């Protein structure tokens, strides 16, 4: 194997990568002065943590990490990503100014480099929500475009949250997020009830999903029950929810198409006239 092959290899040893970041964060020691005790990056930001909103009810940074640690007890890609998400948020409260210790800044940068490389190689990226919390989400151009275009904070938050690593497998959580996004797309659906074409097809698919997949109505029992839903495996229902999610995002973005179409039409006319 050549060095280039090694550098381009997929990330497979998730626990090794987690331990590397862990060492940089709470194993590598340094001094902030010639007479100070030894610090780690974790100890360096411990006081900032206590005054941050990230703390919630944790009594210390160690208490917070201990509470989170059950999420990476069983090594996996999701466990590694959750750990990275926690570290990113802890690094986010670190004060960076001209008086910040040089070694502490260097360790922070090294950790960010490791995490960014891991995210890039596994198809994920980090996004900061309106609440200031950094989330790791699937790298998705459509999702990013919708988040930029939607002005309602709660809708943008729902769009972002759907792709968070901890929503995978959470059917009820995804249902609630789809319901929130569905309220935003309802006026769009109404505009495309009687038109043919792509926008009508997408709107019709979204309408069907919201009304028949136990998102907007109780489709498990009562007058609008869909008996087949109970026969679907959790994996198939989640897949259907994912398709509905992407269809709603596409419908939102298609709202911009008429303007794009006019620009392209003008450009086509200018090019053909030249």
Q: Determine the Cα–Cα distance for residues 172 and 272; give it in Å rounded to an integer.
A: 53
> What's the pTM?
0.70
pLDDT value for 7: 56
Torsional sign, CA 114, 117, 119, 122: negative
Domain ranges of the chain: 3-124, 141-273
Report the range of poorest mean pLDDT among 58-72, 78-92, 228-242. 228-242
Q: Determine the Cα–Cα distance for residues 219 and 225; give it in Å rounded to an integer.
A: 4
**Residue for token pair 């002065």:** 33
pLDDT value for 103: 95
Helix orientation angle between 234-254 and 141-149, rounded to the nearest 10 degrees: 50
Are 27 and 40 a contacting pair, CB within 8 Å?
yes
Q: Determine the Cα–Cα distance for residues 251 and 57; give it in Å rounded to an integer.
A: 41
**pLDDT tens, residue by residue, 7-29:** 566 677 899 999 999 999 999 99
Candidates 146, 159, 245, 248; CA nearest to 204 is 248
Both structure tokens of 147: 């988040």
CB atoms within 10 A of CB 256: 11
Q: Determine the Cα–Cα distance for residues 168 and 141; give it in Å rounded to an integer.
A: 19
Q: What percent of the chain has pLDDT over 70?
A: 94
Kindly tell me if the per-residue pLDDT of 241 is higher than 60. yes
Which residues contact residue 177 at a Cβ distance below 8 angstroms, ignoring those fewer than 6 apart? Answer: 158, 161, 162, 167, 245
- pLDDT-based confidence at residue 140 (cuts at 50, 70, 90): confident
- pLDDT-based confidence at residue 257 (cuts at 50, 70, 90): confident
């Amino acid at each position: 194997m050549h060095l280039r092959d090694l550098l381009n290899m997929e990330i497979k040893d998730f626990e090794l990568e987690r331990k590397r970041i862990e060492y940089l964060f709470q194993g590598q020691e340094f001094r902030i002065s010639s007479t100070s005790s030894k610090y780690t990056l974790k100890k360096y930001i411990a006081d900032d943590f206590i005054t941050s909103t990230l703390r919630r009810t944790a009594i210390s940074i160690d208490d917070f990490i201990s509470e989170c640690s059950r999420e990476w007890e069983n090594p996996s890609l999701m466990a590694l990503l959750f750990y990275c998400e926690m570290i990113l948020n802890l690094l986010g409260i670190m004060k960076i100014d001209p008086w910040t210790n040089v070694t502490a800044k260097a360790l922070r940068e090294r950790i960010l480099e490791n995490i960014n490389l891991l995210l890039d190689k596994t198809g994920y990226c980090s996004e900061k929500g309106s609440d200031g919390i950094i989330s790791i989400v699937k790298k998705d151009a459509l999702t990013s475009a919708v988040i930029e275009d939607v002005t309602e904070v709660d809708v943008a938050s729902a769009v972002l949250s759907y792709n968070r690593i901890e929503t995978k497998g959470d059917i009820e959580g995804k249902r609630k997020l789809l319901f929130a996004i569905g309220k935003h797309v309802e006026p769009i659906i109404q505009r495309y009830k009687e038109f043919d074409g792509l926008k009508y097809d997408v709107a019709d698919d979204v309408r069907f999903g919201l009304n028949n997949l136990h998102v907007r109505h109780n489709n498990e029992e009562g007058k609008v029950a869909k008996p087949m839903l109970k026969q679907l495996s959790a994996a198939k229902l989640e897949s259907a929810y994912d398709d509905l999610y992407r269809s709603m995002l596409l419908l939102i973005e298609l709202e911009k198409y008429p303007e794009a179409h006019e620009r392209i039409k003008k450009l086509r006319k200018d090019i053909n006239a030249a």
